[in-house]
Amino acid sequence: MNMINITRRRLFKSLALITSVALIPSWVFAAWPKTAFEALELNAAIKHLYGSEPIESDQVKLKAPDIAENGAVVPITVSTDMADVTGISIYAEGNPNPLVASFDLGEFNVASVSTRIKMGKTANVVAAVHAGGKVYIARQEIKVTIGGCGG
């Protein structure tokens, strides 16, 4: 006779795991700004994310290559010395949905992020910094030789 080998200890461990996962409060999971990520236009995405119009600023430092050999992996660094920074986001204007990354920062964080993004074609990359209730941006054109979004 072939029986499933289940011990009492294994049963209780499984029940404890299932119960603990079911009881995790929803506030533990990160909030996702769905409307901002689904926006089709840069200013709409910024407005959905931060609630205000962007202002061009030389205090936002955007470091990115002038030419990306592969659009699937474009390194981007955004930093600023501004006070009261609560968020940094990165947009690729040539992508179907421009918002590609959003970072919420706490009061003791350094206002600097680095990541890699996908770009489908040559376009402007825009870095936005949310500080003191306003949104400051910097932009740079990046030439993409091989598209990263199926191109």
**Ramachandran quadrant class, 84 (left: phi over 0; alpha: psi -120 to 50; beta: rest):** left
| 32-144 CATH fold | Immunoglobulin-like (2.60.40)
Give the three-state DSSP class for 44: helix
The segments of the chain whose pLDDT lies below 50 read: 1-2, 151
**Domain-wise residue ranges, the chain:** 32-144
Spatial distance between the Cα atoms of 127 and 62, rounded to a whole number of angstroms = 6
Quote the pLDDT of residue 13: 74
Pairing of strands 112-117, 74-80: antiparallel
CB 149 within 8 A of CB 71: yes
pTM attached to this predicted model: 0.76
Spatial distance between the Cα atoms of 136 and 59, rounded to a whole number of angstroms = 8
pLDDT in tens, 106-121: 877 889 999 999 998 9
